Each structure stands twice: as C-alpha cells, then as structure tokens.
Amino acid sequence: MNISIITKKLKLILSEKKLNRLGKETEFTKRERNINAFQLVTAMICALGDKNTEYLSDILRYFNRLTDQNIRYKPFHNRLAKPELAELMRLVTERVFTHWINNVLQYKKGHFSQFKKVFIQDGSSFAVKESLRNIWPGRFTKTSPAAVELHAVINLKNGGFESASITPDTFSERAEMPSVEELKGNLFLADRGYYSGDFILKLDKAGGYYVLRAKGLKRVLIHSAVQQDGKQLIKKKSPKLSILQNRLPKRQAVDMDVEIKGETVRLIAFWSLKEKRHTYLITNLK
C-alpha cells in the first residue's frame, strides 16, 4: 500500500470535520470549547501508540502539546470518564474496520472461491489495574489478578474485521465465536482453545468448513494414517493416537482418518520445529 492511499484512508477516518460531527452525534460534545472530539481522539491515538504511555496524565500531556493548550487534569479526566466517549471510540473503530480493508483473497476461481468468507479468530489478554479484579477478573490470579481479553474475528477474504469484543480474561473464548449458522458456507480458522468435538460435528452438518488446531485427542481411534510419500502407518487394528504418535515421522506430514464421537474426521499431523512436538490440525476439507 503506497503512502498516497494511506493518507487518503486516514483522511476518511480522522478528518477534523468528520470527527467533530461524530462527537456531536454521540453527544460527546454539545458545545465545542477547549476539548473537542477531533483533538481528543487524535491525542489518544498518538499517546496510546507510544510505548512509554502508562498513565492518563500521559494522554493529557500529548493533548496539551498537540493543541498548544494548558488543560488541567481534573476537567480532562471528566471528559475521558464520559460514557459518550466509549460510544464515540466504538464508531471510530467501526470506521477503521470499514475503510482499512485489503482485498487479500478475493479469488473468483480456485479453492477459496467456494467460501463466502474466510474467518480467522483469536484472543489477546492484557493486564489491567489490580483494583479492577472484581469487574475484570484475570485467569492468572497471582501475576495478573485483573485482566481483559480482546476477541477479534477477521475475514481474510477482504482483510477486514467482522467483530471485536472485550471480556474479562476468565470468560470462555468459545463464547465469542461466530455461531454455526453464521459459518455456513464459510471457512473458520482458529487455535486449540476453540476446538471441541461437538462444535466441529455441528458445523459440518450445517454446511460450514473448518481448520482448527486440535487438543485432547490421545484417546481417539486412528482408522488410517498415510505419510506424504504414500506409506501406510496402520496395517490392521485401529490404534489410539497415544500409541501411534511415537511412530509419526518428523520430516513428513501424516494424513489420518480418526473417530470422534462416532464420526470419521480428517486429522493432519506435522512436526513443529518451534514447539519440538507434533501439531494436529483437524478439518473437514478434502
């Protein structure tokens, strides 16, 4: 993406006129005095993009520097604490998602053309102030007693966000997934935290597709296992994965048919150099 396109997109999202109009629409600003929507949003973006920003007072310093004012902390904090600011920033974020899109996988032919959308989902955890532990409880109570998790779903066919949400870190990632109905005709990619046997079978029956890292499969039965060179690893009896995994090669992927909740499902095993162990991808793709 060249600099002229970036400049054009920034103007679409962060123009002074549009941000100030959005500030009035959300009732963040009723009368423009010392702090308007454009000034505050710009200062917040600059401050939060700086690795050295730790306190609200850091945002105030950015604000005063950018606007050549001398706003004191108390009135500035009152503006940050307005519920309307959250709504303003939500709308700004939606505009970013709408305009900042790269047509990455817009194939008219080939494998990806069969999917309306290609979803990828993951979550990232962040520690917050410990006094918020009752509102935003963290999973790791000793190191991060208060934490939030940002859940994001991106459509890889256009590079845009489908959804984003923030929950306490203790909340389940699976609860933030698209529904089975939303995934019909689409491809869903996700990490091990999103895998469950019930989910993949429901998604398959609904006409959705998936590629997930899988876990907890040591007890599943392996009905067939074929290396990339065509060698069969199973001759007669169907062993459990816990027995077969010691025979899996490190230099070749292995394509397997496994039994999950009475259904035959495709499982791919390959050696992870980073983790020094086999990684398993479960899918209903051919």
Same domain, yes or no: 201 and 276: no
Half-sphere exposure of 49 (CA within 13 A, CB side): 7
pLDDT of residue 34: 83
Boundary-marking domain end, from 39, 64, 99: 99
**Other beta carbons within 10 Å of 76:** 21
106 domain residue, yes or no: no
Same domain, yes or no: 265 and 230: yes
Q: How many domains, the chain? A: 3
Same domain, yes or no: 33 and 87: yes
What is the torsional sign of CA 115, 117, 118, 121?
Answer: negative
pLDDT digits (tens, 9 = 90+) for 154-169: 888 877 788 888 999 9
Same domain, yes or no: 204 and 234: no
By DSSP bridging, strand 254-260 and strand 160-168 are unpaired
Whole-structure pTM value: 0.76
Range of the domain at 252: 214-283
Same domain, yes or no: 202 and 238: no
pLDDT digits (tens, 9 = 90+) for 33-71: 788 999 999 899 888 887 788 888 999 999 999 899 999
* Whether the Cβ atoms of residue 99 and residue 12 lie closer than 8 Å to each other: yes
Same domain, yes or no: 235 and 195: no
Same domain, yes or no: 121 and 174: yes
Same domain, yes or no: 73 and 160: no
Same domain, yes or no: 224 and 163: no
pLDDT of residue 59: 92
pLDDT of residue 101: 61
Provide the phi-psi class of 184: left if phi over 0, else alpha when psi is between -120 and 50, else beta: beta
Please report where in the chains the tokens 């698209």 appear, as a residue: 178
**CA dist., res. 191 & res. 205, Å (int):** 21
> Which stretches of the chain are assigned E, i.e. beta strand?
118-127, 147-155, 160-168, 187-190, 209-213, 221-227, 254-260, 263-272, 277-283
Return the bridge partners of 153, or none. 121, 163
Q: Rg of the Cα trace of the chain? A: 25
104 domain residue, yes or no: no
37 domain residue, yes or no: yes
Overall size of the chain counted in residues = 286
By DSSP bridging, strand 221-227 and strand 254-260 are antiparallel
pLDDT of residue 45: 87
pLDDT of residue 104: 60
pLDDT of residue 74: 93
Same domain, yes or no: 131 and 164: yes
Boundary-marking domain end, from 189, 210, 231: 210
Same domain, yes or no: 85 and 127: no
pLDDT of residue 149: 94
Boundary-marking domain end, from 67, 99, 131: 99
Block means of pLDDT (10 residues each) for the chain, length 286 residues? 63 83 91 85 87 86 91 92 92 78 64 87 91 91 90 85 88 89 95 92 96 93 94 89 90 95 95 92 95
**CA dist., res. 25 & res. 193, Å (int):** 39
**CA dist., res. 84 & res. 142, Å (int):** 34
Return the bridge partners of 28, or none. none
Burial class (CB in 10 A: 0-12, 13-18, 19+), 66: middle
Same domain, yes or no: 222 and 206: no
